[in-house]
Amino acid sequence: MFSSYRMGAITLPNRIVMAPLTRRRAGAGFTATPMMAAHYALRASAGLIIAEATMVHRTSLGYPDSPGIWNEEQIQAWKLVTDAVHRENGRIFLQIWHVGRYSHPLMQENGALPVSASAVAIEGVINTPSGYKTHVIPRALETAEIPEVVAWYASAAANAIQAGFDGVELHGANSYLIHQFLEDGVNRRTDTYGGSIGNRSRFLFEVVEAVAAEAGASRTALRLSPSYIKNNMSDSDPVKLYSYVIDRLNDYKLAYLHLTEPVLPVDHLPQYLKKVAPYYRKIYKGTLMSCGGYTYDTARQTLEEGIADLIAFGTLYIANPDLVERFRRGAPLNTADKDTFYTGGEKGYMDYPLLNQPV
Ligand SMILES: Cc1cc2nc3c(=O)[nH]c(=O)nc-3n(C[C@H](O)[C@H](O)[C@H](O)COP(=O)(O)O)c2cc1C
């Protein structure tokens, strides 16, 4: 847990990573704020911080008050964050994101439909600025539009590097646009982006290549969630799909591959999907990061068994800015307050106590 790790262009002082965490506290124009800079700087002792999912384009809005990285104002605002983290000797990547169908006309300019691989809606409701609304059927991207969407990711990556991030993590997980292209429960396309596994992963690899060309492969990472079933995600043969994708990723020499373990009950899933890191460790030759439900003990065991090189913590990092120090001392941990995850403001964001410090 406390040994350093050489990851591409940078050295991490420990194996403890802050997972990307959407907190919906961005300012006007989808900009990072001084409060966000202070929040991340407090967590700079992490081996690596992965800053929250950040929109590559205005059409990516699915969570009000989340930040963006497509314009100059947003770049300047993120500089406050990266400077604050670097001043505290930290390292910070930015997770870049397009939500695809996880949006609603009420969050789009001119009430446009959200876009996806295919015109297949999520069942259920989405939280919009006007309250909970039923998901709409998204618009399938035209084949000719796809290069422009790939270019959004590339320019977001270039902007992130300009804003001082040490690298970018592509959000290929948790039901968003890249994931929507990968899995055939959503992707019903009949062009070169649909059908075979090679075709369904074409969008992902085009994005990986375009982003690596901007940021450098050693500063480009990818998050995947092979067992994620929320928001109606499904695939007819996930073992084959993710084995293919992860094997091919070996060619790219990325900073790391970040895999999330399932967080919902998974009794119905095949054994390999219940714990994905051991399975894919055998296929992936580069740096592997694992996230999902880890405690100090299970993280340490996973590292000792060589199943992962780095462990990311989500909920524990919400509540414990000094998680590394608490782990080191075996100190008690603060408990995260779910009610303030997405509510904006300082409460539940700036007020978790540090060790030996009053609130
Ligand atoms: C409040 C909250 C926000 C999250 N936001 C993101 C996000 O922006 N991007 C992402 O990939 N995962 C996101 N996640 C998932 C976490 O990164 C992590 O995978 C999950 O919390 C499981 O890890 P844990 O058991 O250590 O909390 C979020 C989770 C929570 C609780």
Q: Is 296 inside any structural domain?
A: yes
pTM for the structure as a whole:
0.97
Most informative mutation of 17, 315, 334 for ligand 1 (most atoms within 8 A of CB) = 315
Positions marked catalytic? 176
Q: Give nearest CA residue, ligand 1 atom 2.
A: 21
**Residue 110 in domain:** yes
| Ligand 1: nearest atom to the Cα of 341 | 1
Query: Per-residue pLDDT for 258 more than 70?
Result: yes
Q: Is the pLDDT of residue 148 over 70?
A: yes
pLDDT at residue 50 tops 80: yes
- Count Cβ atoms within 10 A of the Cβ of residue 244 and give its class: 0-12 exposed, 13-18 middle, 19 or more buried: middle
Domain assignment present for residue 270? The answer is yes
Locus of tokens 């929507």: 180
- Ligand 1, CB within 6 Å, residue ranges: 19-22, 52-53, 95, 171, 173-174, 223, 260, 263, 291-294, 313-316, 341
Distance from the CA of 171 to the center of ligand 1, in angstroms? Answer: 12
The residues, any chain, with a CB within 8 Å of residue 188's CB and separated by 6 or more, are 117, 118, 120, 194
**27 Cα: distance to centroid of ligand 1 (angstroms):** 21
Domain residues for 195? Answer: 5-340
Residue nearest to atom 21 of ligand 1 (CA): 314
Buried (b) or exposed (e) across 298-307, using 16+ Cβ within 10 A? Answer: ebbebbeeeb
Question: Looking at ligand 1, which residue's alpha carbon is closest to its atom 18?
Answer: 314
Residue type, 291: C
> Which residue from 356, 354, 358 is spatially nearest to 320, judged by alpha carbons?
354
Residue 245 lies in a domain: yes
- Among 22, 168, 227, the mutation site with the greatest number of ligand 1 atoms within 8 A of its Cβ is 22
345 part of a folded domain: no
| 355: in domain | no
Indicate whether 274 pLDDT > 90: no
Each residue of 176-224: pLDDT tens digit? 999 999 999 999 999 999 999 999 999 999 999 999 999 999 999 999 9
Q: Which residue has a Cα nearest atom 29 of ligand 1? A: 21
Give the separation between CA 101 and CA 107, rounded to whole angstroms: 12
The CATH number of whichever domain residue 182 belongs to comes to 3.20.20.70
Q: Is residue 358 part of a domain?
A: no
Which residue do the tokens 């992130």 mark? 160
pLDDT digit string (tens) for 325-334?
999 999 999 9
Beta strand pairing status for 256-260 and 288-291?
parallel
Residue 222 CA, ligand 1 centroid: distance in Å: 15
- Residue 73: pLDDT band (50, 70, 90) is very high
- Report CA(339)–ligand 1 centroid distance (Å): 15
Buried b (16+ CB within 10 A) or exposed e, 262-280: bbeeeeeeeebbebbbebb
- As a whole number of angstroms, the distance between CA 20 and CA 8 comes to 20
Domain count, the chain: 1
* Assigned domain for 351 exists: no
Give the position, in ligand 1's atom list, of the atom nearest the Cα of 263: 22
Please tell me the distance between residue 53's alpha carbon and the centre of ligand 1 in angstroms: 10
Virtual CA dihedral for 303, 235, 195, 117, nearest 10 degrees?
Answer: -90
Of 290, 293, 285, 352, the C-alpha closest to 323 is: 352
What average pLDDT score do residues 308-324 get?
98
